[in-house]
Amino acid sequence: MSAHTTETTTTTTALPTMTLGVSDAAAVEIRKFMSSEEGLPETSGLRVRVVPGGCSGFQYSLNIEEESRANDNVLESNGVRLFVDMFSAQYLNGVEIDYVTNVMGSGFTFTNPNATGGCGCGSSFTA
């Protein structure tokens, strides 16, 4: 009787490298919000997405999620774990997320070097 061994080769597809920044002010607000959510596991993070919509074609979406999904880019910026799906990654590479407060209110803003245009209200963009 001879010994039989089988080798399995696994091919993994590397995700394209991307960067996504979170300012100090945005990181404080994100951590504040996440700490107010009870029972979030250590694997939780902020999902940053680009979705069709808005008057210019695309808009940003931010959601707290318990864990990343298959094929997500998982990044960390300023102590915040970020999840980015493959579709959104092409529009979010090099983006800086900030949190601003002014006379019009407060909220997250996105500085996007990939945007070729935007709307007057600043909530959507064209790429």
pLDDT of res. 10: 42
* Size of the chain, expressed as the number of residues it contains: 127
Structural domains in the chain, CATH included, are: 20-126 (2.60.300.12)
- Give the residue, 78 or 127, on which the prediction is more confident: 78
pLDDT of res. 65: 95
pTM, 2 dp: 0.80
pLDDT of res. 119: 61
Checking if the pLDDT of 12 tops 60, the result is no
Checking if the pLDDT of 127 tops 90, the result is no
Nearest to 97 by CA among 28, 20, 17: 20
Tens digits of residue pLDDT in 15-37: 567 899 999 999 999 999 999 99
Tens digits of residue pLDDT in 34-82: 999 989 999 999 999 999 887 778 899 999 999 999 999 999 999 999 9
pLDDT of res. 104: 81
Nearest-angstrom CA–CA distance, 92 and 94: 6
- Give the residue, 84 or 115, on which the prediction is more confident: 84
